[in-house]
Structure 1
Amino acid sequence: MIFIPRFTLVFIWGIFSFLVGIIIGIFRPFHPSNVRACGRILCPLGFKILGIDFDLRGQGNFKKQMPFVIVANHQNNFDMFPGGYTIPNRCVTLGKSSIVWIPIFGLFYWLSGNILIDRSNKRKAKASMERVTREILENNKSIYIMPEGTRGRGREILLPFKRGAFLTAINAQVPIIPVCYSSYHNRMKWNKLKSGKIIGKILEPIPTAGMKPEDSVALMERVYQLMKNQIIELNKEIEQG
């Protein structure tokens, strides 16, 4: 039974990594590359402790045009590992305002310049999305968003998207870059040395130049279908070994 010692160790490693992230944040508060810096501390060893083989593909697509809006599928709290490893330089995330109250992690998250959104308040949520657009345009930052808005937990391949990420990309006239992770919720064998494999794939940028706000729904639907099909293909590859 290695489940308990494995997760105890990864919990300790996570606390250490976030404390280092806080120190980085104190010396360069709200810097857009703080998230990547901490992710590259946390994730490589985190994957080894967890026995995960993480295969990330298509990283060159982040270099084709900056800034951009990344949209990724949301499965569970484990998302911080594939997401933390994937996130590029000068990129922050969009997260629930309640995250800031999580001990240690919340302080790291805030100091890293991530954008907090209160989805229960439409006025505040709209203001947060407007801030995202300003950050992209004025500070050359990219943004990592999980447009499902809630954890899928394996209920479906991909839950319905919310429109905010796509409207933001159109307002800023920057590309959307879909990032797809193979399904891992309830699929890992945590009591084995090799728990399983996750494939992450960064897809080609989808331009928004010339699009108008009224095009956001069509863009959202196009990206949703593209990502769903890609996740199905990644899952097939995992299953076939």
Structure 2
Amino acid sequence: MNLQTLLFFIVILPVMFFGLLIALVVNLVDPTGDRFHRMAAWWGRFCARLLGIDIVISGEENYRKDRNYLVISNHAGMADIPLLLGALHLNLRFVAKEELGRIPLFGWALKQAGYVMIKRGQNREALRSLLNAASVLEQGRSVHIFPEGTRSEDGQLLPFKRGAFMIAQNSRTPILPITIIGSSAIAPKKSLKIRKGQVRMIIGQPIQTAGKKAAELQEETYRTISANLDTYGNAA
């Protein structure tokens, strides 16, 4: 077990546990989830500093902190979520698998804070959960979705699922495409080992959604993230 993995278990997990206990109370005081988000963003920055993860961000000028977006990124490692929370200056909520919402304490805090628990599949329940994400966007908050649906094992981009782009089409909220490079080496899939290193985030120009169908938005977003992976990933 290396130092970063040890720090994760003896420092980060206990901090997260006690933070979630506090969050349950904070969410009662502030049911909007905005204070919870500030706590989560601090936790993301804390994780990066403690584990020696250097985050290099390109394209910060491409988004406004006072706007809300449907944030779409590739998903290459377990570190993606805390790094995104800490790096983006947005009032952000994540779309997460419904199973995570059933985890005691963790799931309760996420649902209280307005995170969207989504059913997988094409049934009515899945559609209803997608509409919940659109509702969060309509309230002026940003929502993040991993359209691949799962982490890539080698950092290569997987096919995108349509659901995220149905939300974009219905809400008419701009898509903020983000390409993440290097996180697959920090916390690989099917491994508990964590390494220090550098993660690069490329924030693309917002993709306007008005008048576009879900399939068009899916293709444009995929093309943007794929091109950045090809350009910057090969240079890494």
Query: What TM-score results when the alignment is normalised by the length of structure 2?
Result: 0.85
Deviation string 1:155-200 (CA, Å, 9 cap, x unpaired) is x5111001111121122222111011113224569787xx210011
Match for residue 12 of structure 2? 10
Structure 1 pair 53–128 and aligned structure 2 pair: CA distance change class (3 A): same
Match for residue 145 of structure 1? 145
Match for residue 221 of structure 1? 219
Give the Cα separation in 1 of the matches to 2:224 and 2:215: 14
Q: Which runs of 5+ in 1 are unaligned?
A: none
Whether contact under 8 Å (2:77, 2:186) holds in the other structure is no
| Larger mean Cα displacement after TM superposition, 183-192 or 71-80 | 183-192
Whether contact under 8 Å (2:7, 2:51) holds in the other structure is yes
Give the Cα separation in 2 of the matches to 1:62 and 1:33: 19
Match for residue 43 of structure 1? 44
Number of equivalenced pairs? 230
Report the secondary structure of 1:185's partner residue. Answer: helix
Report the secondary structure of 2:183's partner residue. Answer: coil
Whether contact under 8 Å (2:77, 2:183) holds in the other structure is no
Query: What TM-score results when the alignment is normalised by the length of structure 1?
Result: 0.83
Give the Cα separation in 1 of the matches to 2:66 and 2:171: 13
Match for residue 202 of structure 1? 203
Give the Cα separation in 2 of the matches to 1:191 and 1:219: 34
| Larger mean Cα displacement after TM superposition, 141-150 or 86-95 | 86-95
Q: Given the alignment, which residue of 219, 223, 228 partners 1:230?
A: 228
What does 1:81-92 align with in structure 2 at a 5 Å threshold?
81-92=82-93
* Alignment-mate amino acid for residue 109 of structure 1: L
Report the secondary structure of 1:63's partner residue. Answer: coil
How far residue 49 of structure 1 moved from its aligned partner, in angstroms, is 1.8
Match for residue 110 of structure 1? 111
Percentage of identical aligned residues: 24
Deviation string 1:27-74 (CA, Å, 9 cap, x unpaired) is 112x25345312222122211221111123333333187332111111
Give the Cα separation in 2 of the matches to 1:186 and 1:131: 33
Q: Which runs of 5+ in 2 are unaligned?
A: none
State the Cα RMSD in Å.
2.5
